[in-house]
Amino acid sequence: MAFAPADLDFLHRFIPATSKGLPTLLLLHGTGGNEDDLLDIGSRLMPGAARLSPRGKVLENGMARFFRRLAEGVFDIEDLRRRTAELAVFVEAAAGAYGQDPSRVVAVGYSNGANIAASLLLLRPGVLSAAILLHAMVPLVPEPLPDLQGRPVYLSAGRLDTMIPPRETERLARLLESAGARVTLAWQQGGHGLTPGEVESARAWFQAGETTRAGKA
């Protein structure tokens, strides 16, 4: 598939790898964030890996997001599908533009970014080899479910999160498992914000080697 320069139309940061043999980290910020938000977290999760960090194109009261919502926790599904396809094209085009292996892209998303990463898994499963979803919920339920057999997915959520109730995270875990993903669900005793301990737990899972061995199913 050929890509035009317009396919890289997301504002983004790309940090080249300093070590060989590591996947590219696709860093997806939460509502109100930008392309710089998760760069440090990416370097902590896997030092030396390439980092690709786009800025969401949708504005909600001046805050950047990756797709529209109708109310808190109520998504515009048509827009979500369109934005997911748009992001998939960008990720594949960026792999070619920056000389990265398109079969080894690991999403690291927080909140809204985690939700669109989950949507990528469900709607465009060939784009991601693995994912770390921090404070995510079910974005949509496609029919039929994709084949995510053996795909490693790490979910982290707060027991006291008032924006994403624990049952929503559990529902996402079940959905991904139903599609065949190898899901690890880690609970934090906190709310919606990221904590250093949460990032450290994700790093430990990352460093265990699941994602470095992951390829497209």
Give the catalytic positions in this structure: 111, 161, 192
Long-range contacts for 127-131 (Cβ within 8 Å, ≥24 apart)?
127/88, 127/91, 127/92, 128/26, 129/23, 129/103, 129/104, 129/105, 129/211, 129/214, 129/215, 129/216, 130/23, 130/106, 130/210, 130/211, 130/214, 131/106, 131/107
Residues whose CB is less than 8 angstroms from the CB of residue 84 and which lie 6 or more positions away in sequence, other chains included: 67, 116, 119, 120, 123, 124
